[in-house]
A and B are shown apart, each in its own frame.
Chain A
């Protein structure tokens, strides 16, 4: 439970950080909140030769709303999002999701960008990003690029970022009030990673679903968007019956893994149970 030895640097500016990441040092790794990386180092599942600590880059700690986008800086901590005053269906989804990330000590250190870069398929932030088709901004000394969430998550612990790139911020869409959002997840204990998590964003106009997005965690090696559930919802009359048939469609569509926490059959059952709970009346509060 002791990491193998490593070098440690703590740049003062973004530019300095990007230069360090590009200086050719092998196995250099960014450390942000350390809430995933440090346990992995202690288990020696990660053995970086050098850590680049981005803790001083305070410009990455801001949440800014510009037009119809909310830009969340990579260093924004989970707890900041849990307490965000942001209104509307987006604000409520952020607060509800953040509350399900680990335990309070983890939420006060762990960061939004760190979660995305870590790319755990059951992570609330990875799912939310995928759900809302967010755009992820990464930078290197070579320049800046914007990666759509659909392309960002490659598989477990793997993203589309290059080793010299730093995730700087994520653009989330402001959601108008005709959206209903919600999250429901199942974990064995409070604070554990979900076995299955379902996030939903549906637009309801005169009782009819006019747009639907469903993201499911724990059923694939990356955040999963359920085309089947979205199709089942679209054009339907919003209500428990519709949610249940969407849940059936999603359960048929997913091909979940089996492990000590539950086999594929059980995970499908959880999809059936959780999808309606994520979006049922009251869930959007």
Chain B
């Protein structure tokens, strides 16, 4: 396999092209994103713009619990303040996500807290006012009296028999435990006993926020004539939002429309139903008033879903040669106070349960993976979902074992990465194809490990601490209904559907159920379809994010849109292409097999005779009596795609320098060798990798949501919660292996999450490598300067006291 680097010069859509001998295909070109000109000029339409253009709308502001756990005594406001509490929402059903499996405990989330509050930031009431500022004034005047009760703040304490309960529901005998998945393969114990060495390690991750640049925002508008409500909301899944709200309000879906306009980033944090949105829609209908809610950054930190807080107790058995024969894991995910709809709080622990073995051939596996409730903000998916911590677990194990066995980090991985396909994992997942070995070998070649070791030794002699870290992973992508059904979700996502039509002027509208929010999907899909229809990408308009204008679909999450919506689009384009060819063949009096669609023409191959596609479009609409017999007067098709899923893969390498005295880590090099199949638009793929890696670096070194010992979130602004900026971001080198996949219709695999998955482990491995002379193995994300410094200080004190003893 020859690695291919992405070409970087973007093709300019507006430049005229003279037809070359062999016309280029759009697929594979770094076409400039059609989304960008408007967004970059400030001409996008976000929910805030929709609200700003509505002079009549009321603004809602939510009164949020100041305590982690307690009983509401009273909520009062001075006369004149429009205060809405749970009693005003009588009849509204709670949000009650469900998994149909025996180890799931159902927990309900009321739209506004009724008697009990369960985390700081939980909405207990709302006020309505004529402007956002007046709503904040009104908020100030509300008095909330809550009697505090003991809070559950630590997952380890939460499962002890004497722990207070966040919800009464839980497994008998297992306080606060709401998911408990277990599996042990038959030969696990024997493998452990016959191991040459057993690595025991605990790894953990702090809470992280997905932190989209645009916080949540919604605008509910009511049609006074019909009572029909349109909710503009910053979401990744408009159709599912509609279903979720209709289920809470007992409403027919036809009476309610959801629109996701431009969405300013989401990363998973906008794929769970917001209780605030349910309240907004209910009140808009009840009051017959338009209502907007624009979340503040502080609220976003407090209440808009957290992620990643997990702890793994790991036991890994190795042979002398460094072959990992058995992996044991006790995994606890602190999932906060409620379950997110639709994927539930099983999302992290069950992902960890099923996918921890990752890209490695681990014969024996023993796992217990639990969701444990706490009085903290609920968790929900965030780009990478659980896998950043899973990858931290397996990759730290590899490095610790390598050090112990005297192997280098590349060799030990080579001995364990899956090399023959298909490979069935201990949990029954099938790795259908991947280039794990190739990616690792290419990464090692690029970074020249022996050369690095020389530089590292020279630097150490000068008192400088350099380190290198590898991280390999499998990223499950583009999975449809079968994969979700295996999780027994009451609401089972998976397929994507598209409608495609050609108008009389030959333009194509592609309506998709997926809901891009920054990924450039409009561009990539247009490239695919343009190639099939012989058109230019700008002639394909992709419509998304409006339940009135698009077929039912699940949205954009889980590295799936290019694969699944792309597959459906490709299918639809095949059908439309055939219809155009049939019409052309009839007109040109030739066999359909002889017709080709290229550069806006339907031509008889090898003749130069043809018809403009525009002419065929007009004919189909306006002279349909001239269509061949049996041909419908329509250029409209639909298609659905629901694949089983596949895996992308990558190897990340970080090089770092650690400042011994301050504990600061500087990333001096970051390399990604990745394989996500066909690159429909290499520039967009690079963008996905860059953004993901930066969020992974954030997870590794910077971002952490911290609660104090009373359960109060202390990181509520960007002064305390620290996303890295460009100044903290290294150059990110990318090498694409691009082995075209036959597991998907388009040959492309998902690429949305890999960056966040691989980077944290690569960085922590590099820091641990740098500090290995001190015997330091870092195991907690993020490795903040004070934590790194503490590890150095402690290790140096230990070494000097050992030295003193000798």
**In the complex where A190-B727, A191-B727, A270-B662 touch, is A4 in contact with B136 (Cβ < 8 A)?**
yes
Within 8 Å CB of A266, what residues of B?
A: 663, 785-786, 789-790
Question: Which chain B residue has the least Cβ–Cβ distance from A2?
Answer: B133
Judged by a CB distance under 8 angstroms, whether A66 is at the interface is no
Q: A273, B662: Cβ atoms under 8 Å?
A: yes
Within 8 Å CB of A189, what residues of B?
A: 702, 722, 724-725, 727-728
Within 8 Å CB of A8, what residues of B?
A: none
Judged by a CB distance under 8 angstroms, whether B717 is at the interface is yes
A264 to chain B: closest CB distance in Å?
11
Chain B interface residue count, Cβ-Cβ cutoff 8 angstroms: 31
Within 8 Å CB of A43, what residues of B?
A: 298, 717
**In the complex where A189-B702, A260-B715, A262-B786 touch, is A5 in contact with B793 (Cβ < 8 A)?**
no
Within 8 Å CB of B784, what residues of A?
A: 188
Q: B661, A260: Cβ atoms under 8 Å?
A: no
The residues in A between 227 and 285 inclusive whose CB is less than 8 angstroms from any CB of B are 260-263, 265-266, 269-270, 272-274
Within 8 Å CB of B785, what residues of A?
A: 186, 188, 262, 266
Q: A188, B661: Cβ atoms under 8 Å?
A: no
Once the chains are docked, how many angstroms separate the CA of A255 from the CA of B784?
Answer: 22
**In the complex where A188-B702, A266-B790 touch, is A260 in contact with B714 (Cβ < 8 A)?**
yes
Once the chains are docked, how many angstroms separate the CA of A265 from the CA of B789?
Answer: 10
In the complex, per-residue mask of B715-729: 1 if CB is within 8 Å of any chain A CB, else 0: 101011010110110
Once the chains are docked, how many angstroms separate the CA of A173 from the CA of B785?
Answer: 36
B715 to chain A: closest CB distance in Å?
6
Q: A2, B725: Cβ atoms under 8 Å?
A: no
Once the chains are docked, how many angstroms separate the CA of A232 from the CA of B722?
Answer: 37
Q: B136, A44: Cβ atoms under 8 Å?
A: yes
B408 to chain A: closest CB distance in Å?
32
Once the chains are docked, how many angstroms separate the CA of A119 from the CA of B310?
Answer: 40
Within 8 Å CB of A193, what residues of B?
A: 719
Q: A263, B137: Cβ atoms under 8 Å?
A: no
Judged by a CB distance under 8 angstroms, whether A55 is at the interface is no
Judged by a CB distance under 8 angstroms, whether A88 is at the interface is no
Among A2, A44, A274, the most chain B Cβ lie within 10 Å of the Cβ of A2
Once the chains are docked, how many angstroms separate the CA of A3 from the CA of B706?
Answer: 26
The residues in A between 28 and 50 inclusive whose CB is less than 8 angstroms from any CB of B are 43-44
Among B136, B298, B702, B793, the most chain A Cβ lie within 10 Å of the Cβ of B136
Within 8 Å CB of B136, what residues of A?
A: 1-2, 4, 44
In the complex, per-residue mask of A174-200: 1 if CB is within 8 Å of any chain B CB, else 0: 000000000000101111110000000
Question: Which chain B residue has the least Cβ–Cβ distance from A277?
Answer: B661
Q: B725, A190: Cβ atoms under 8 Å?
A: yes
Judged by a CB distance under 8 angstroms, whether B297 is at the interface is yes
Report, as a range, how many residues of chain A touch the other chain: 20 to 34
Q: B140, A261: Cβ atoms under 8 Å?
A: no
A5, A260, A272: the one contacting B720 at CB < 8 Å is A260
Within 8 Å CB of A1, what residues of B?
A: 136, 296-298
Within 8 Å CB of B659, what residues of A?
A: 273
Judged by a CB distance under 8 angstroms, whether B795 is at the interface is no
Within 8 Å CB of A270, what residues of B?
A: 662
B419 to chain A: closest CB distance in Å?
41
Within 8 Å CB of A261, what residues of B?
A: 720, 786
The residues in B between 694 and 753 inclusive whose CB is less than 8 angstroms from any CB of A are 702, 706, 714-715, 717, 719-720, 722, 724-725, 727-728
The residues in B between 227 and 241 inclusive whose CB is less than 8 angstroms from any CB of A are none
| Total A-B pairs, Cβ < 8 A | 66
Q: A5, B137: Cβ atoms under 8 Å?
A: yes
Once the chains are docked, how many angstroms separate the CA of A43 from the CA of B717?
Answer: 10
**In the complex where A260-B706, A260-B720 touch, is A3 in contact with B786 (Cβ < 8 A)?**
no
B557 to chain A: closest CB distance in Å?
28
B64 to chain A: closest CB distance in Å?
14
Q: B722, A269: Cβ atoms under 8 Å?
A: no
Q: B662, A190: Cβ atoms under 8 Å?
A: no
A65 to chain B: closest CB distance in Å?
34
Within 8 Å CB of B719, what residues of A?
A: 192-193
Once the chains are docked, how many angstroms separate the CA of A270 from the CA of B663?
Answer: 9
Judged by a CB distance under 8 angstroms, whether B407 is at the interface is no
Q: B715, A2: Cβ atoms under 8 Å?
A: no
Within 8 Å CB of A262, what residues of B?
A: 785-786
Judged by a CB distance under 8 angstroms, whether B132 is at the interface is yes
Once the chains are docked, how many angstroms separate the CA of A261 from the CA of B664?
Answer: 12
B785 to chain A: closest CB distance in Å?
7
A273 to chain B: closest CB distance in Å?
4
In the complex, per-residue mask of B546-570: 1 if CB is within 8 Å of any chain A CB, else 0: 0000000000000000000000000
Question: Which chain A residue has the least Cβ–Cβ distance from B297?
Answer: A1
Within 8 Å CB of A192, what residues of B?
A: 719, 722
Among A3, A188, A193, the most chain B Cβ lie within 10 Å of the Cβ of A188
Within 8 Å CB of B132, what residues of A?
A: 2
A2, A269, A274: the one contacting B793 at CB < 8 Å is A269
Once the chains are docked, how many angstroms separate the CA of A88 from the CA of B706?
Answer: 45
Question: Which chain A residue has the least Cβ–Cβ distance from B704?
Answer: A260
Within 8 Å CB of A5, what residues of B?
A: 133, 137
Q: A4, B137: Cβ atoms under 8 Å?
A: yes
Once the chains are docked, how many angstroms separate the CA of A191 from the CA of B722?
Answer: 12
Within 8 Å CB of A4, what residues of B?
A: 133, 136-137, 140
Question: Which chain B residue has the least Cβ–Cβ distance from A272?
Answer: B661
A270 to chain B: closest CB distance in Å?
6
B189 to chain A: closest CB distance in Å?
43
Once the chains are docked, how many angstroms separate the CA of A189 from the CA of B720?
Answer: 11
Once the chains are docked, how many angstroms separate the CA of A260 from the CA of B787?
Answer: 11
A283 to chain B: closest CB distance in Å?
15
Once the chains are docked, how many angstroms separate the CA of A62 from the CA of B207?
Answer: 48
Q: B714, A273: Cβ atoms under 8 Å?
A: no
The residues in A between 195 and 227 inclusive whose CB is less than 8 angstroms from any CB of B are none
B717 to chain A: closest CB distance in Å?
7
Once the chains are docked, how many angstroms separate the CA of A225 from the CA of B564?
Answer: 64
A186 to chain B: closest CB distance in Å?
5
Q: A44, B140: Cβ atoms under 8 Å?
A: yes
Within 8 Å CB of B296, what residues of A?
A: 1
* Extra contacts besides A192-B722, A260-B720, A269-B662 (16): CB < 8 Å: A2-B133, A4-B140, A186-B662, A188-B784, A188-B785, A189-B724, A190-B728, A192-B719, A260-B715, A262-B785, A263-B786, A265-B790, A265-B793, A266-B786, A266-B789, A269-B789
What residues make up the interface of A, taking CB atoms closer than 8 Å to B?
1-5, 43-44, 186, 188-193, 260-263, 265-266, 269-270, 272-274
Closest 4 CB pairs of A and B: A273-B661, A190-B727, A2-B133, A266-B786
Can you list 23 A-B contacts (CB < 8 A)? A1-B297, A1-B298, A2-B133, A4-B133, A4-B137, A43-B717, A188-B722, A188-B784, A188-B785, A189-B722, A189-B727, A190-B727, A190-B728, A260-B715, A260-B720, A261-B786, A262-B786, A263-B786, A266-B786, A266-B790, A269-B662, A273-B659, A274-B662
